[in-house]
Amino acid sequence: MTVRVRFAPSPTGMFHVGGARSALQNWIYAKQQGGVFVLRIEDTDAARNKPEWTEGILSALDWIGISRGSYEGPYFQSANAGEHRAAAARLHESGRAYYCDCTREDVQARTGSQYQGYDGYHRDRGLGPGPGHALRFRTPDEGATVVVDLIRGEPTFENKLIEDFVIARGDGSPVFLLANVVDDMTMGITHVIRAEEHLPNTPKQQLLWEALGVKPPIWAHVPVVVNEKRQKLSKRRDKVALEAYRDEGYLAGAMRNYLMLLGWAPSGDREIVPWSVIEDEFRLDEVNLSSAFFDEKKLRAFNGEYIRALPVAEFVDACQPWLTGTGTIAPPPWQPEEFDADAFAAVAPLAQTRIAVLSEIVPNVDFLFLASPLIDEAAWTKTMKDGSAELLDDAVAAFEALDSWDAESLKSTLEAVGAERGLKLGKTQAPVRVAVTGRTVGLPLFESLEVLGRERTLTRMRAARLRLV
């Protein structure tokens, strides 16, 4: 038997990081088993679906390494609507489903509780199809439904506790439960790997598989992804869009590695490992049953490690979208013609060790490409105190006299200026840094001044001095 797994997102918004984890888990499992990964777009919610969301899913999968052409599909659930209706009809004809025109209020009136499930009122009343007549599955009265789950063992659900659930609406359109089952049957899916939030629906879906005469798939319900308050990640409350992390400058390799660690770990006391190790060692039956905490701080640290591990040339290439204003959330504060590739290449090794996400490259190097620095007013107020004007005067005079404009000469010269005032280098260089870069923190100062050049450095220091008048 060829293993066939599927990833079935809905194109109703940005691509959720939890969905990305499910896609990766399915992808790796299929590769390990020599099987097939199927992509199905569940697009039957016409009111919320948008073509750009579908393209967003495909692009996001590309980014994390599940490239187009390497999987089967994408298929679209809407294209299988005829099969969904045909399955509903077969279930009715075989007596496994019946029509019901009860409203929620009807059920509540009979049971006396808004929390009571459907009471089977129309099971044997012979109601036929018609407007407002929903089709309900006839759940067995006795026995239990056993779900074979690669992660959770064999969860068992008593059938008497499963209500006769709706499989087609009053207008005849099948609901998600039935459409999902029929699609999986049509596509020959053998294993369904998904989040545990779907587990309550699984006995219902398994009953549908059996009623339609097909052997159910093997299930694997992985733990849900939660935030720091142990709440399920929500797009309304949490930062969950994979595209947002991509556009902020997270590397695909770091994101991929981190997502696979949500509920699982490779052998040994290690977390950052080559992707080939994850592909080789990942096992569904080793996935932890506890909810998986999506720790953005940890992801950020991961990403910093991945950035520092890049060859410098690759780091330079990776920064280009943020430096040139292509494919980013916002363009850089300079015009494209102001960007100096040689200047950036000179400071790239220094910047590479100081940023955790690629978008941070802009505030670290913007002073190189602007006519004047963007002054952080809080930094100015904190740094430019009594004595700063005179210190800048002395520094300008000392820098003007330099024969060689290099980092070492600049450093020793400014140290001497500070020593005459009884200041250590840290105190001495702070006003110079703010005058030249606009900030109190950034790349190593003297290497930055060397790249910026004598003329631009002195011009900025003089301008800062005039502001202190």
Rounded CA gap, 416 and 7, in Å? Answer: 65
To which residue do tokens 């009265």 refer?
Answer: 141
- What is the DSSP pairing of strand 292-293 with strand 225-226? parallel
For residue 115, what pLDDT is reported? Answer: 56
Rounded CA gap, 30 and 26, in Å? Answer: 6
For residue 72, what pLDDT is reported? Answer: 97
Give the other-Cβ count within 10 Å of 214's Cβ. 14
For residue 208, what pLDDT is reported? Answer: 98
Q: DSSP state, 222?
A: E
Range with lowest mean pLDDT among 104-118, 188-202, 249-263, 328-342: 104-118
Q: DSSP state, 11?
A: S
Q: What mean pLDDT is reported for the chain?
A: 93
CA distances from 130 to 67, 398, 402 (A): 45, 93, 93
For residue 327, what pLDDT is reported? Answer: 65
Rounded CA gap, 467 and 380, in Å? Answer: 11
CA distances from 202 to 20, 290, 428 (A): 21, 19, 68
Catalytic residue among 31, 235, 297, 424: 235
CA dihedral 379, 321, 308, 273 (to 10 degrees): 130
Q: How confident is the model at residue 75 (pLDDT cuts 50, 70, 90)?
A: very high
User: pLDDT tens digit string along 388-409?
Assistant: 999 999 999 999 999 999 999 9
User: pLDDT tens digit string along 111-135?
Assistant: 766 656 788 888 988 899 999 999 9
Rounded CA gap, 144 and 203, in Å? Answer: 9
The domain spans of the chain are 377-467
> At the topology level of CATH, where does 377-467 sit?
Arc Repressor Mutant, subunit A (1.10.10)
Q: Which H or E run contains 245?
A: helix 242-248
Catalytic residue flag (residue 427):
no
- What is the DSSP pairing of strand 156-158 with strand 97-100? unpaired
Range with lowest mean pLDDT among 108-112, 189-193, 439-443: 108-112
- What is the DSSP pairing of strand 72-76 with strand 292-293? unpaired
Burial pattern 178-205, b for ≥16 Cβ within 10 A else e, equals: bbbbbbbbebebbbbbbbbeebeebbbb
- The residue-averaged pLDDT of 363-377 equals 95
Q: How confident is the model at residue 294 (pLDDT cuts 50, 70, 90)?
A: very high
